[in-house]
Amino acid sequence: MTTAYEIMSQPFKYSMRIAYHIAGDYYPDNRIYARIHGDLKQKLFEIFSYEIVAGHEIVPSRPIQRPGNVVDEGTSSSSSGNGKKPSVVVIEDLRQRFVEHYVWTAVAAGLIYESRYLLGTSLARPCITEGLVRLAEEEDASYIAHGATGKGNDQVRFELSCYSLMPTVQILAPWRMEKFTSRFQGRQNLLQYASNHGISVPVTPKEPWSMDANLMHISYESGILENPAHPAPAELFQMTSDPQKAPDSPTRLEIKFEKGIPVSVWVIGGAAPPIVDPVSMLIFLNQIGGEHGVGRIDIVENRFIGLKSRGVYETPGCTILHAAHVDLETFCLDREVLRLKTYLANRMADYVYNGFWFSPECQFVRDSIALSQRHVTGWVHVQLYKGSGEWPLWHKPSVIIVMITV
């Protein structure tokens, strides 16, 4: 068996984290390309996948060489019950692609699901799938596996995206396999298995919730959060400060947009020049917004498969960008165009949340919304203060409007 991980580089604490797992000869004469992002369930599926195919030997494959990748062999910290370890580690930086093609598209479209969720996890899944499918095709893999549960949205997002990009692919989903679920029936079974086999996982009895982090946000769910009467504990939050303990002095920013896309951010009165690189912009806004306690939400959302689910989210940077963009649009768009665009944005938010990023209807709406952004160009002044943002100034090339906020 050959196993490989592909993990996005993390020079910043909240960088997008992606890991891929290639397992060869899961079935005779076939290879599997599986995705694992560091969650407890995914790590244990890697272990369990070895046990399912215990009769096969590890046959190291060639390292996956691509520009910008770092390749190591036999360096994964995970190991199977029989002591075998992955043979190839590939590190690829997809942050630029994620920000420019997914996050900025969502900002320009004004995507927000059920009026509150900025779709940080939903946007990451098609980006991950692009990498999965690309490497699966390069490695001539017949199967793609994922560790999403059988009651969540991610199974739908990954599988619909895979089928759209690679129609002949076959999917392996361990959380829908009786052999897996009969052994691991819940979180405590998984934690015990990890402890017995010396597997380090981020979920512990003291922090009984799951977390998914990327460059755009961090989401938390499950465990104690499944009880909506239980407030999210203070120690859960990693990306934002408690708004009540945020700095007593506000920070004012100038954010510029061109055709709906953020192009620069600058601290008003600061000595540093404007930040223009997309990844650096989002990292900075996450940092400064997080310091001021911006971007926390605690919601119950409607999942695609019909369940209601509580989720706690931290999305400081995109909370700032979304609000600034919405206000700029008010001045730049015709009234009826704005109303129609808002309707289309709600439809696209549903498509993205439900995993239809690559569908023809989502592409149509995406192109239509992009047309509405032709004249959404200008700057917005934003004031960050104790969990909130005020927008006292807007500027469009032909109009300047000043608003006093009381």
pLDDT in tens, 266-317: 999 999 999 999 999 999 999 999 999 999 999 999 999 899 999 999 999 9
What's the confidence (pLDDT) of residue 91? 57
Query: Does residue 121 belong to any structural domain of this protein?
Result: yes
What's the confidence (pLDDT) of residue 63? 36
Decide if pLDDT at 332 tops 80: yes
CATH code of the domain in which 87 resides: 3.40.50.620
Sign of the CA dihedral running 291, 201, 39, 220: negative
Q: Pick the residue with more confidence: 8 or 236?
A: 236
The tally of domains found in the chain comes to 2
Torsions phi, psi for 393 (to 5 deg): -135, 140
Query: Does residue 220 belong to any structural domain of this protein?
Result: no
**What percent of the chain has pLDDT above 70?**
72
**What percent of the chain has pLDDT above 90?**
50
- Mean of the pLDDT values across residues 173-202? 80
Query: Does residue 406 belong to any structural domain of this protein?
Result: no
Decide if pLDDT at 405 tops 90: no
Same domain? For 241 and 383 the reply is yes
Same domain? For 320 and 378 the reply is yes
With beta carbons less than 8 A apart as the criterion, state whether 146 and 173 touch. yes
What's the confidence (pLDDT) of residue 138? 80
Query: Does residue 271 belong to any structural domain of this protein?
Result: yes
- Mean of the pLDDT values across residues 48-72? 34
Query: Does residue 281 belong to any structural domain of this protein?
Result: yes
Q: Closest Cα partner for 298 from 253, 363, 240?
A: 240
Q: pLDDT band at residue 389, thresholds of 50, 70 and 90? A: low
Same domain? For 183 and 257 the reply is no
- Mean of the pLDDT values across residues 61-85? 40
Query: Does residue 193 belong to any structural domain of this protein?
Result: yes
Same domain? For 134 and 271 the reply is no
Same domain? For 140 and 267 the reply is no
Same domain? For 327 and 238 the reply is yes
109: β partners: none
Kindly report the average pLDDT of the chain as a whole number. Answer: 76
Distance, in Å, from the CA atom of 403 to the CA atom of 406, rounded to the nearest integer, reads 10
Same domain? For 129 and 245 the reply is no
Same domain? For 237 and 364 the reply is yes
Same domain? For 132 and 15 the reply is yes
Distance, in Å, from the CA atom of 248 to the CA atom of 292, rounded to the nearest integer, reads 9
Q: Using the 3D structure, point to which of 150, 183, 215 is the last residue of a domain.
A: 215
What DSSP element (H or E) covers 46? helix 40-52
What's the confidence (pLDDT) of residue 134? 85
Q: pLDDT, tens digit, for every residue of 42-53?
A: 444 443 332 323
What's the confidence (pLDDT) of residue 62? 35
Q: pLDDT band at residue 116, thresholds of 50, 70 and 90? A: very high
Q: Using the 3D structure, point to which of 180, 215, 250 is the last residue of a domain.
A: 215
Worst-scoring range by mean pLDDT, 78-87, 136-145, 176-185, 296-305?
78-87
Same domain? For 118 and 257 the reply is no
Decide if pLDDT at 78 tops 60: no
Same domain? For 100 and 194 the reply is yes
Q: Using the 3D structure, point to which of 215, 248, 272 is the last residue of a domain.
A: 215
Residue that has been written with the tokens 């390292």 in this structure: 63
Query: Does residue 405 belong to any structural domain of this protein?
Result: no
Query: Does residue 352 belong to any structural domain of this protein?
Result: yes
In whole angstroms, what separates CA 144 from the centre of its chain? Answer: 19
What's the confidence (pLDDT) of residue 397? 53
Which residue segment(s) compose the domain that 333 sits in?
A: 225-400
Q: pLDDT, tens digit, for every residue of 341-368?
A: 999 999 999 999 999 999 999 999 999 9
CATH code of the domain in which 251 resides: 3.90.1260.10
What's the confidence (pLDDT) of residue 4? 28
What's the confidence (pLDDT) of residue 12? 20
380: β partners: 255, 394
- Mean of the pLDDT values across residues 73-91? 42
What's the confidence (pLDDT) of residue 123? 96
Same domain? For 253 and 363 the reply is yes
Decide if pLDDT at 214 tops 80: yes
Q: pLDDT band at residue 92, thresholds of 50, 70 and 90? A: low
Q: pLDDT band at residue 261, thresholds of 50, 70 and 90? A: very high
Q: Which two tokens stand for residue 302?
A: 């409607």
What DSSP string runs through 83-146?
S---SEEEE---HHHHIIIIIHHHHHHT--BTTTB--HHHHHHHHHHHHHHHHHHHTT-SEEEE
Decide if pLDDT at 107 tops 60: yes
What's the confidence (pLDDT) of residue 390? 55
